Amino acid sequence: MSSTQALADFAHALANGAITVIDLTQTLSEDTPLLVLPEPFGQTAAFSREEISRYDDRGIAWHWNNFTVGEHTGTHFDAPIHWVSGKDLPDNSVDQVPVSKLIGPAFVLDFSAECAADPDFLLTADHIGDWEAAHGAITPGSWVLFRTDWSKRDTEAYTNRREDGAHTPGPATDAIRFLIEERNIMGFGVETIGTDAGQAHLLTPPYPAHTLLHGAGKYGLQCLENLDKLPATGAILIAPPLKIRDGSGSPLRVLALVAE
Ligand code: MN
């Protein structure tokens, strides 16, 4: 099949519904839950907006707003420059990430039952090995999406903050090492606010997803939803962040293409 034919077939499949588009994005609003760091660290800004006009004296026929938001608020992309381990890599900011890397196959690892039983569940390399035995090996250049069903929780249960910080699932260090070194993934996406577990400051190294993924030039996606609507293998993920000069990340729309 020629490349031209492949695109024509793709357009036809989109038009006739053989391929559907799934939105993996949280709605961004003033209510979007935020990551909260302990004192004395700086905090990401909540989404806020001011109305410029809404078909009124300030603009008789048009509606528009100015908005303020952190680079890491709501459904968002993490670029390698976000972490100190990736600060000297080439093409490490959102404006420099090669566009060919913003679309790729998705492997969806469903550990929602384990996470329901244990909010501090850590995905290990052994868990991934078991998953691959059932579904096949994760291919190079892929997004690995960690399904926890966390996006189905209300805000309090979603952030799950206690005296000692957030209690939310994430990857163990050996899982991240395996995905980088043995599978050469493109990135790791989660439903929770961070790619790391809520208690990942206690792991070695602390925050292994951020430290190791970004140090290896890999990307992160956070605050995804609708992962339960994706097949374990076969979906294509589209995740282009805003082109912010030297930006460490950005809110974005994340889409998945799924064959019916
Ligand atoms: Mn982030």
Single out the residue of 204, 197, 200 nearest to residue 168, CA to CA: 197
| Residue owning tokens 């384990």 | 114
Tell me the pLDDT tens digit for each residue of 25-42: 999 999 999 988 888 999
What's the full length of the chain, in residues?
260
**Reported confidence tier of residue 120, pLDDT bands at 50, 70, 90:** very high
Tell me the pLDDT tens digit for each residue of 167-182: 999 999 999 999 999 9
Q: What is the pTM of this model?
A: 0.96
Q: Report pLDDT for 216.
A: 98
User: What percent of the chain is predicted at pLDDT more than 90?
Assistant: 96
> What whole-number distance in Å separates Cα of residue 51 and Cα of residue 201?
40
CB 132 within 8 A of CB 174: no
DSSP, collapsed to helix, strand or coil, labels residue 85 as helix
Q: How many alpha carbons lie under 13 Å from residue 186 in its C-beta half-sphere?
A: 25
Single out the residue of 212, 180, 181, 185 nearest to residue 196, CA to CA: 212
Tell me the pLDDT tens digit for each residue of 42-89: 999 999 999 999 999 999 999 999 999 999 999 999 999 999 999 999
Residue 3 predicted with pLDDT over 90: no
DSSP, collapsed to helix, strand or coil, labels residue 86 as helix
Strands 187-190 and 143-147: parallel
Q: Report pLDDT for 2.
A: 85
Q: Mean pLDDT throughout 19-28? A: 98
Tokens of 120: 């501090």
Q: Report pLDDT for 183.
A: 98
- Mean pLDDT, the chain, whole residue set: 97
Active-site residue, from 82, 127, 210, 214: 82
**Ligand 1 centre from 161 Cα, in Å?**
18
Active site residue 135: no
**Ligand 1 centre from 239 Cα, in Å?**
14
Residue 254 predicted with pLDDT over 90: yes
Q: Mean pLDDT throughout 198-222? A: 97
Residue 231 predicted with pLDDT over 90: yes
Neighbours of ion ligand 1 (CB under 5 A): 72, 78
Tokens of 148: 């926890």
> What whole-number distance in Å separates Cα of residue 214 and Cα of residue 89?
9
**Ligand 1 centre from 198 Cα, in Å?**
13
Using alpha carbons, list the distances in angstroms from residue 72 to 33, 76, 117, 163, 235.
11, 6, 28, 23, 25
**Reported confidence tier of residue 186, pLDDT bands at 50, 70, 90:** very high
Residue 162 predicted with pLDDT over 80: yes
Q: Report pLDDT for 39.
A: 82
| Residue owning tokens 């050996």 | 174
